[in-house]
Amino acid sequence: MTERDSRFDCLFESVAIGPVTAKNRFYQVPHCNGMGHAMPNSVAAMRGVKAEGGWAVVSTEECDIHASTDVLPYPEARLWDAEDGRRMALMVEAVHAQGALAAVELVHNGHAASNRYSRLPVMGVSDLPVAALEPSQACAMTRRDISDVRRWHRQAALRARDIGFDIVYVYAGHDLTLGMHFLSRRYNRRGDEYGGSLTNRLRLTQELLEDTREAVGDRCGIAFRFAVDELLGSEGLSCEAEGRDVVEMLAEHPDLWDVNLSDWPNDSVTARFGEEGAQEPYVKFVKQVTSRPVVGVGRFTSPDVMVSQIQRGILDMIGAARPSIADPFLPRKIEEGRLDDIRECIGCNICVMGDWTHTPIQCTQNPTMGEEWRRGWHPENMNRKGHSKRILVVGAGPAGLEAAMSLGRRGYEVALADTNEGGGRVVKEAGLPGLSVWRRVVDYRLGQIEKLNQVTFYPGSHMDRDSIFSYGAEHVAIATGSRWRQDGLGRANWESLEGIADHGSVFTPDDIVEGNLPVAGPVVIYDDDHYYLGGIIAQMLAQAGLSVTLVTPGPEVSHWTRYTMEQPRIEALLRRLGVHLEVNHKLTGVFPDRVVAVSNLTAEVQSIDAVSLVLVTARDPVNTLYFEMAGIEEERREELPFTLERIGDCCAPSTIAASVYHGHRYARELDLDIDRDDVPFRREYAVI
């Protein structure tokens, strides 16, 4: 084992948090996962793996304390009663088994809840509409309601203590919590002792801290998660005004300060719009005010940056949500001097998508995330090699790289061939504005493959049917990717666009990432993909000085990036650059100098000047090689001297995360007897 670099010794010092002690400075802060109370076994296994990976503290997601703060369909954690406690105990046991501390983030969401399941009236600081877009309002809490919330919070804290949690949170952040709502001058319209001055608006939070300490402070550390800045200027809390005032007023009340930004898109800003350590200017004052340990986040992936945060007195503990998802073993790899083995977070926020879509968490870098219990996958350990020996993977994009690396880790002899230098779409897209860190997906896998003697990479190798047959592999995986269509067919257009063949200047994202850009405008970008590419291409061309119109059938530009919390930033950037936006429109005709678009809502037709046209619509799998061997109807598949599979975009074009996952699943399942008629993973069932 490689020895740890002494420069990083400070990261492995213990930290006292009230009556408990963290064994090092690595702290997995609360983060959602799309599984929550509905999948307690899955959550426990996922958190347990992080504890195994060296995180000294492993936290839950937000944990609802009572039926009056029901946030379904979001499946967050719950501590409404003893049965919820029994389920959450699974996580505590998994974390303790690895020698880590377990933390629970108790919360009442106020008007950010909707109570669709409990159907109780929503309670809020004032009479306000609920945060969800629905025709409901919260009723202003009475003193009796406030007393109830304090009691419910105390009861949840006692349940948490009794099932073994070591750290109990009071939570006021992300614009989602009752504590923040009371603090906010935007929401707090009260005229009693809980409204008006900052002292009054802080009263409930202070009471919850005192109640929690009195109830469990002898055995549990009391953490306070607080957003010191809402990035709203004078309309919200800020690190230069009331955000700082709150820290000064409560400086010694908690045992630990967990500080960040609000709202969530600011706290978990994507790499496209925020650098590593971007929160430092906002949180650096906190340690100057309190003697308590401070944890903060910043998509920390570099050990040198982490050490700098500690040595310069910015933080006492390195907080992480997304980096702990990308690599649950990040602390252990630093401790063991294996820095090259770290899967660095790329800040794409695919993990966040799980919470917004109420589905198990995913990660582009870590395909085992969310599959620890369901499929029994471990981020560092592969299942044993089967009976086969030689595997050929054709295509070294994200799916092919992951498959080859993971097969090599299982012990197979693997040949990986690619017509280029490897990386596929990732390398090309990493050249787009703001996406350079996406290159980590390729660099990590190529670096790992280089260490595996049983995996041989053949860049610049063209594989055809004859060369594949002559290689003599027992299994062949085709990972040749996909290409964007040039005819406009997509979700909104089920046939090729009329007149497209006569337009002399039509481009696709493949052209753009390969350096073939329009040189004349006006340019129309037709985005029927709704993810990041349409917006980025519009940004590039506008910054190059071209007149750009982005047309999309969606209700807003880059609509799917709502799930990665980027959409408002993308639209704001395009508007600042002067890009003209036409939403709820689909193209119906193309002419040499213009296009025709029809409104989805009114059927109104408009003509838009377009010397150049960029189509971001649908992709065709590059699967010719596969069907040459398998037969058009796959009728020859069983007769081949090897098994043959398509993986990644060659099978079903999707996200980079989906391609990595498909490559990993192929590697995991090779030589296993998988019944295609069975459910291929364990499911969690409601108790009947």
Catalytic residues, by residue number, are: 32, 171, 174, 267
For residue 590, the SS3 value is strand
Consecutive H or E run containing 435? none
Nearest partner of 334 among 62, 84, 53, 680, judged by Cα:
53
How far apart, in whole angstroms, are the C-alpha atoms of residue 243 and residue 225? Answer: 12
Cβ(294)–Cβ(315) below 8 Å: yes
How far apart, in whole angstroms, are the C-alpha atoms of residue 668 and residue 410? Answer: 8
Residue 167 bridge partners (DSSP): 103, 221
Cβ(286)–Cβ(251) below 8 Å: no
Tokens of 571: 């639209």
Cβ(221)–Cβ(256) below 8 Å: yes
CA distances from 549 to 159, 325, 410, 494 (A): 56, 37, 50, 22
Question: Backbone dihedral region of 495: left (phi > 0), alpha (psi from -120 to 50 degrees) or beta?
Answer: beta
How far apart, in whole angstroms, are the C-alpha atoms of residue 52 and residue 502? Answer: 60
Tokens of 603: 């059927």
Nearest partner of 234 among 195, 184, 280, 284, judged by Cα:
184
The interaxial angle of helices 398-410 and 656-669, nearest 10 deg, is 30
Cβ(356)–Cβ(435) below 8 Å: no
Task: Count Cα atoms within 13 angstroms, Cβ side, for 200.
Answer: 12
How far apart, in whole angstroms, are the C-alpha atoms of residue 329 and residue 338? Answer: 10
